[in-house]
Every structure is written in C-alpha cells, then in structure tokens.
Structure 1
C-alpha cells in the first residue's frame, strides 16, 4: 500500500509536470503571433505549425501507454519529461517553417508518454473511489496555466522574446525530470504487481481494440478535443484579427475563461466520483449538447463582451467532460492495462489536436479570413461527442476485464 502522504507527494509532482507541459502548449498559441510575423507564415502554414506538436503527441499515445504497462510508468514518465524539455528548448532555435514543424513534432513525441504513464501511476496508488479527484487535481494544472498564460505570455514575449522563452521552459523541464527521478519511487508491492501483470498485459493488449467501450471513448475523445484545441489554438488569432483586440487586451480577457476552466476541473472531479455509471454518461452527453449550443451563441455574439461570456461558460462545461472521459477509463479498465487504455483513447484526442488547427487554417484561407465555417465544424464535433457518450454500453466494456 502507498501511504496518503506518499500519494499526495507523487500527485503534486505529476501536477507540476503537467503544468509545464501545458505551459509550452498554451504559450505557443500566443507566441505564434510573433512567429508568424518572423517567419512570414500564411494561415495555412500557421495551422500546420500548430498541428505539428499534436501529430507527434498522437502517434506516441498508444506506444507510450504500452511502454508504461510493459516497462513501468516511472521510467516512461521521466524519459518523457527529459525528451520534451530538450525539444521545447530547441523550439527557440528554429529558423524556418520546416525546422519548426520538425522540432514541434519531436516535442510531441517526447510528451506523448506523459499522460498514459501518469494515469497508470494514479490507477496504481489511488483507490478507485478517489481516482477521478486525483485526475482532476493533476489536470487542473492545465486550468491554472490557461488562467495565467494570457498575462504570462504577454510579459515573456514582449520582454525576452519567443526564442528565449522556449529556452527557459526547456531548462525548467530538466529540473522537474530530476525531481521525478529522486522522489517518484513506487513501493515494492506496486513494483511486484507490475511484474506479475506483464504476462496478463501482453495477452490483453490486443483485446483493447475489440472492446466496444474503447471505440465510444475514442470517438468522444476525438470530438471533445477537436472543440477544445480548435478553440485554444485559434481564439487568440481570431480575437486579434477578427474582433480587433490588441495583445494586452487579449491577455487580460482570456484570464476569465481560464478561471472558469480551473473551477470546472476541481468541481468535476468531486461530482464524477459521486455519479453512477448511467448518470455520468447522460451528464456528459447533456454537457456536450450545451457546448454545441453555446458555440453557436459565441461566434454569432454581437460584441466581444458577449463572446467572452459564452466562451467562459463553454470552458466551464468542457472541463467536466475532460475529467469525465479519463475517469471512465480508470474506473472500468483493469490497472494492468491502464496505460495502454489511456494511450488508446487519448490518441483520438490528440489526433483531433493535430487535425483541427490544421483544418481551421485551411478553412480560414478558403473563406478569405472568415471563421464561420470553422465554428460550425466545432459545433458538429460537440454533438458527435454527445452521441458517443450517450451510446456507451458498460456491459460491453467488461469484455477485457472478464478475460483478465
């Protein structure tokens, strides 16, 4: 057994690492305004740049989960932080679109093992009834970063510039990797369980692809993150180019949805642990339908104030679904394949992170600067997420568990 004190220390370190990963991803959405000018990029090229990270990240999700199940989550976790820190630092040395795309792709490969391995650690050291709350605490670091990044990015980008900013973030990552190596050491009983589960994991890995629950969750992840990353990557550009905000105003206004996202993540973990299986999928579907309606109201808003109000409500609701999806995985799949399960479904989410910014870039170019068609695409994805959650069959999800 892992003591509560040890669990809390490990969770705090996972929180810190996930915060750094989100810092790099979110700051790129603001740095890209300067990068686009320095490298003379079109909207389509900007979309390719924003998507390049997610291409590598998506490709590494399933291998990262398998490696965590096969060789141990701690090893994969540390390797992931080291690799992504190296390529974060190298982002500041990019000299062209091609070099930037390659570096960001490799950064995505490096970070790809973090969520599957950290999720597996949570499933190993926390009892089932506490896992949603543990996930919400770790993922809340993303909400905190979303809250502070508008102001932080303005301060960093206007003082030390985008190149030095990425150098500094890379150095911080190496320090965090050292903390992981020193402090994250799983007790002997957990390590023995890992070894005992190796044979089981090998035989059950293929069964993941035959488990209907995984298909529903894969689609839900893809659809939800299409909305989430479509908004995160392009709203700064949209508000500057279409709504004519300056960078400083943009920074302050975007802290409001950040507060909503942070509150939503903390509240959601507690609520989800209280919901029954039938209630949680219905609540998730209803949340996605609300998101689709609010997206329409947001992009048709007559002024920036109304736009920010609707965006804030959207981020509050999205936070609930973001916590709900991994909670369903961790509560319904055996811990021996927790890393692979998270890697498989999160591949859907990160494929969306790759394809959506890219698609929006081409759509904006095709419609001569208009974002309307892009918003309609996000509305459709929110509805698809609702359908995939509503049609989840938990009994079919027991296919893998029963074989184990």
Structure 2
C-alpha cells in the first residue's frame, strides 16, 4: 500500500504538504522569512551602492523610504485580493513580484532602475501578510492556531538575522548586484514551490467580489466591533514600539553606551534571535493557556526592558536587550490569533489588511518621531515615551479580557 501511495505521488507530482499541518506551516515560515529578507538584505549594501553610483545618503535613504512606503500601503488591497482570489494566488504573486524587484536591482542601470527595484520589493512584500495570516487560520484549528502563528514568526526572525550577513558576503565575494540576483532567484524558486505544494484555499467560487462583502454583519455587531477596535489599537501600539526600538537600539548602543558598530549590530541581531523563542513561547501559551496572557507578558516585559537598558550597569543593559527582544515578539502570535478567532474566514484577508496597515503605518511614524525627540532631547526621552505608550496597552488588555469572544473555551 505504501509503494502504491509513493507511486501515486510520483505520477501526480503532488507532495503531501496538503495533509501535513507542520509541513505547511514550516514551509510557510520559510516563505515568511524570505518576504522579510526582501526588505532587509540590502542594508549592508548601501555604502557600496552609494559609491558605485555616486549617490549621497539622502538618495539612498529615499530608496529605502520608497520600499517601506509601498510596503505599508499595500496591506489593505492585499487583504481584498486574498479574500477575492484566494491565499495561494496572492502569496505566490507577492513573492514573485518582490523577486522581480530584486532581479531588476541586479541589472546594470541608473538610480531610476534601483527606484523601480525598491518599489517592487516593497509592493511585493506588502502583499504577503494578510493572505498568509488568513491561510494559517484556514489550515489550523482554535486548538493549534497559536503555535501555527508562532512557528510562522520563527522563520522571519531567523532570516532577519541571516539575510543582511548573507547579502554582505555575496557582495564581498562578487558584487552588490550579485546579492540582488541571489535573492531574486531564491524568491522565484520559492514562489514556484509554493504554487506547486499548496492547494487553493480562501476563495469560494460564489464569493461576492465587492470589497465590503461580508462586512455588514460584523459592523452591526457592536460587541465584535468593540473587540476589533481593541485589537487594532493594540496592533498600533505594537507597531510603534517595535519599529522605534529596532530603528534606534543600535545607534543608542553606539552613541550613548560607547559600543562599536560591530558589537551593537551583534546585540541588535541577538534581539531577533531571542524573538524567535518569543514567537514559539507566545504561540504555545496562546493555545495552552490564554490568548491574552502572551500580550500581557509582552507588554510587561517591554516595560522592564526599557527600564533596564537605561540603567548604567552593563549587565542590566544586556539583560534588558534580551528581555526586549523576547517581549516584542512573544505577543505577535496571540495578536494574530485573536483576530482570526474573532471574525469569519471569508473576511480574514481584508481585516488582516486593516490590521497590518495600522501596524505598519503607525510603526513608520516611530523612526520619524524618534529622530525628532532624540535630536531635541535624548535617547532616554524617546525610550521613556515608548514606555508611556506601552503603559497605555494595559487598559486595552483589561477591556479585551472582558470583551473577547473566542472559540477556545480555555481562553478567558
């Protein structure tokens, strides 16, 4: 019987990911990491691009801003596309489009060529998260949804650590355009594999093509709207704190704590590594204990972490960096799961689109406000502001505990 099954797989060309929960989540985690790599791999290449094309830092910074701007605004239409055409189509298009952007960057050309490259990188990456969260909600159950979200986050953290180093190594051995070529080819292969290994989900043939289809019952449910508002406000707080911390932690370590660029970069990378553990722990707790508990732990841990990094003790600084890294990621699986639990599958994509556009848009404000506050006052003032914003999450957490309507009976 086993040989017959293997023969059937060989003949049909079907890999049994379609029936394997951990196989699908694991592969999607790698695709998730690749999606983040498209936005991060170029960071060590900027000085090489600057010298090669005769640019200044403002011009290079404009490229990065272009990528992140398109990344921020693309989440909302991505949610509609996911609900309308399905998870498989939208995720494949996301990775393929970002891969095209990387391949464009590998071509000989001018600043305009790179502008097209970064635009496509940001736009493609922006299309990933709403359909991916919807797909995870589709292939999981309320009992294992948290761990699915947690495992999905691990891939992004591991690639966040590795992608810049890998791109820098390729650029050192060959040329900075070779790094763009590598990620373009890797993305193209991943998109093809994803299309081959995953079944079509999330797009019923009878689905109403209207962007507002299926939302009317939600908007008429005041308790559900209340719950969604709490989730969206918490996502905005998370976006600001996450972006602000990772935008300035390395600079703080250099300018205030006197560390070298290399050491500060290593410690900043350590936060992503510890964050991978946070994803796993948060997902496990969301399934086994409470959806709310990881959010509470992450909020409290962030407060403790900000306090420790401001103390003069080097030991307190190191402990604070570890706690911040863990805390900023431990609540993400629970936040993603809360939204999936709250609303019907047919509107997951659009509401995840709202979720991520709030997170990304408010997160994009943090570096700007941080720069103004640090320039006029100090790093301490900025991290104290972050602490105050974190404190504002506690009333929302209390409200969510009373308003939450979950499928899992274990969750308060």
Q: TM-score, normalised by structure 2?
A: 0.80
Q: Cα gap change, 1:102/1:356 in structure 2, threshold over 3 Å: closer, same or farther?
A: farther
What pairs up with 1:158-197 in 2 under 5 angstroms? 158-160=172-174, 162-186=176-200, 194-197=204-207
What is the CA–CA distance in structure 1 between the aligned matches of 2:20 and 2:118, rounded to whole Å? 34
What pairs up with 1:342-353 in 2 under 5 angstroms? 342-353=352-363
Q: Cα gap change, 1:291/1:396 in structure 2, threshold over 3 Å: closer, same or farther?
A: closer
Give 2:301's match in structure 1, choosing from 290, 298, 302. 290
> What is residue 267 of structure 1 aligned with on the other side?
281
Deviates more, 1:387-396 or 1:265-274: 387-396
What is the CA–CA distance in structure 1 between the aligned matches of 2:42 and 2:394, rounded to whole Å? 30
What is the CA–CA distance in structure 2 between the aligned matches of 1:296 and 1:50, rounded to whole Å? 31
Correspondence 1:336 to 2:352: no
What is the CA–CA distance in structure 2 between the aligned matches of 1:27 and 1:237, rounded to whole Å? 19
Q: For each residue in 1:186-233, what CA deviation from the matched residue of structure 2 results, as whole angstroms up to 9, or x when unmatched?
A: 3xxx57x72345479853235656722222111111111211122223
Give 2:389's match in structure 1, choosing from 354, 358, 381. 381
Q: Cα gap change, 1:373/1:87 in structure 2, threshold over 3 Å: closer, same or farther?
A: farther
Q: Cα gap change, 1:112/1:272 in structure 2, threshold over 3 Å: closer, same or farther?
A: same
> What is residue 361 of structure 1 aligned with on the other side?
371
Q: Which one has the bigger helix percentage?
A: 1
Q: For each residue in 1:51-79, what CA deviation from the matched residue of structure 2 results, as whole angstroms up to 9, or x when unmatched?
A: 44332222111211111111111111111
Question: What is the CA distance between 1:326 and its match in structure 2?
Answer: 0.2
1:285–1:387 Cα contact (<8 Å) kept: no
Correspondence 1:7 to 2:21: yes
Deviates more, 1:236-245 or 1:326-335: 236-245
What is the CA–CA distance in structure 2 between the aligned matches of 1:204 and 1:60, rounded to whole Å? 21
Aligned residue for 1:195, secondary structure, equals coil
2:239–2:360 Cα contact (<8 Å) kept: yes
Higher radius of gyration, 1 or 2: 2
> What is residue 392 of structure 1 aligned with on the other side?
400
Unmatched runs of 5 consecutive residues or more in structure 1: 399-404
1:77–1:113 Cα contact (<8 Å) kept: yes
> What is residue 401 of structure 1 aligned with on the other side?
none
Q: Cα gap change, 1:12/1:290 in structure 2, threshold over 3 Å: closer, same or farther?
A: closer
Q: For each residue in 1:250-272, what CA deviation from the matched residue of structure 2 results, as whole angstroms up to 9, or x when unmatched?
A: 44434432332111111221111
> What is residue 230 of structure 2 aligned with on the other side?
216
RMSD over aligned CA atoms reads 3.4
1:58–1:350 Cα contact (<8 Å) kept: yes
Question: What is the CA distance between 1:23 and its match in structure 2?
Answer: 2.1
